[in-house]
Amino acid sequence: MFEQSKIPKLDLKDKKICYQLDINARQSLQQMSKQVGLSKQVISYRIKSLIDRGIVKGFYTILDVHKLGFMAFKVYVKVQNFSPEVEKAFTDYLAKHKSVAWLVMSNGYWDYNIVYLARNVFEFDGYYQEFLNKFRDYLEDREISLVVEAYQFRRSYILGDKDDDTKYDVMNGLAEPKWDGDKTDWEILKILAPNGREEIQKISQKVKLSPKAVSLRIKNMVKKGIIQSFRAQFDVSLLGFQYYKVFLKVKNFNKQKEESMWTWLRYNPNVIYTTKALGKHDFEFEMQARGREEFHQVLGEFREKFKDCIRTVESLHYFKEFKFLYLPEATPE
């Protein structure tokens, strides 16, 4: 957590660039220039500065992992007897694991949140048992949930706006898996997943196809919803925000109330994820706010709006991210 005085100063143009990178990190400098009102050269310089200052940590590609044939499993753990050496071994093991998509440390009841991607429950169980065999003695408590639906929204809070036309990304949808790509498509995804701004020419050289052929394959995967978007990865603390997770249990619930709740969350500028999962809680959402006061203000508005159908609310503060890569380091079967 950074002191307020140490948070880099961003002017309106910097914020507009950050927002444009969050909307579409692959858009050209010319496209961004029209949106921000600066020359291509200045846009390029400012993006480099945002990267050099650590505000932009990188660029990634949002994929609908369900369409690729994967299931997402969330594992929450509370640890004990954690020496610095054990902590390093624990985080290194998970960050390097081929099927761990996300690893983050939190304040609250749970100390870590891990997301595994697996083709079925049997594959996940193999990964999970391996994890337990290595670290069981250091786990005070643990919990698993299976993601049914997961959506990511744009960071409208960067500009302080509610954008009713904001596109959202389906990270885990309800559509039947329809992966019909070949190994070359998969190789392209493996390149784009950790670097959503990788140049077409460089991808072309790596997969040994013409730039035009690569572009057509990417466009086809976007059209089919495999690729949802290309986004910037931010150090939100350097934007002046903190990252929170909220767990909900509901009552007196029906489809209409569910849609109303989802719509409210979608259009709130602070909310960046919503998740429906099979497990202890009915719904989860994540938000980024300017500290606990704003977090509790937004959460209070939400609780008042849906007080007739909220049974319990729990929360976590995420403060250190070790890995975010929503593509298993494997090849399709």
* pLDDT tens readout for residues 73-119: 999 999 999 999 999 999 999 999 999 999 999 999 999 999 999 99
With 0-12 / 13-18 / 19 or more C-beta atoms within 10 angstroms meaning exposed / middle / buried, residue 116 is: buried
Q: What is the pLDDT of residue 172?
A: 86
What is the spatial distance between Cα 65 and Cα 67, in angstroms, rounded to a whole number?
5
Q: What is the pLDDT of residue 5?
A: 47
pTM comes to 0.92
Q: Is the dihedral of CA 298, 304, 307, 313 positive or negative?
A: positive
Which ranges of the chain have pLDDT less than 50?
1-5, 331-333
Q: What is the DSSP letter of 268?
A: S
Q: What are phi and psi of 154, to 5 degrees?
A: -75, 155
Which CATH topology does 8-53 take? Answer: Arc Repressor Mutant, subunit A (1.10.10)
Query: Where would I find the H helices in the chain?
Result: 12-23, 29-36, 40-52, 84-96, 121-135, 183-192, 200-207, 211-223, 255-267, 292-305
Q: What is the pLDDT of residue 52?
A: 96
pLDDT tens by residue, 219-251: 999 999 999 999 999 999 999 999 999 999 999
Among the four given CATH numbers 3.30.530.20, 3.30.505.50, 3.30.70.100, 2.40.30.10, the one describing domain 71-155+236-324: 3.30.70.100
* DSSP secondary structure, 157-207, as one string: GGTT---TT---EEEE-SSPP-----HHHHHHHHHHTT-TT--HHHHHHHH
Check if the beta carbon of residue 225 is closer than 8 Å to that of residue 174. no
Q: What is the DSSP letter of 136?
A: G
Same CATH topology for 8-53 and 71-155+236-324: the answer is no
Find all residues with CB under 8 Å of 205, minimum gap 6, and list them. none
SS3 state of residue 259? helix
Structural domain boundaries of the chain?
A: 8-53, 71-155+236-324
